[in-house]
């Protein structure tokens, strides 16, 4: 058994503001997550522009990568649009 999670598939939205990752965990289950890119103007507080990725969606556990990806396509509209353009 592996001691590290393995990325099976990953992608970024066309506009670059969202990304997802399909992962096989060390216990052989599959999960996926989505992050969104945030840009905040905090200049009025002396902090300037703050840009960062933040988690926006976590899946449950899946037995198969195909099941996890099918769920991701159902939950993440931008991912569905990205795959329909293929």
Tokens of 7: 């990325």
pTM given for the model: 0.84
The band of 54, judged by pLDDT with boundaries at 50, 70 and 90, is: very high
Report the distance separating Cα 83 and Cα 80, nearest Å.
Answer: 5
- Mean pLDDT, all residues of the chain: 92
pLDDT in tens, 25-43: 999 999 999 999 999 888 8
CB 24 within 8 A of CB 65: yes
**How large a percentage of the chain has pLDDT more than 70?**
95
Q: Is 1 helix (H, G, I), strand (E, B) or coil?
A: coil
pLDDT in tens, 2-13: 689 999 999 999
């Amino acid at each position: 058994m592996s001691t590290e999670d393995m990325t099976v598939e990953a992608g970024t939205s066309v506009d670059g503001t969202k990304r997802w990752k399909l992962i096989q965990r060390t216990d052989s289950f599959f999960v996926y997550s989505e992050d969104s890119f945030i840009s905040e103007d905090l200049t009025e507080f002396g902090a300037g522009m703050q840009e960062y990725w933040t988690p926006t969606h976590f899946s449950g556990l899946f037995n198969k990568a195909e099941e996890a990806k099918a769920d991701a396509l159902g939950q993440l509209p931008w991912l569905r649009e990205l795959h329909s353009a293929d």
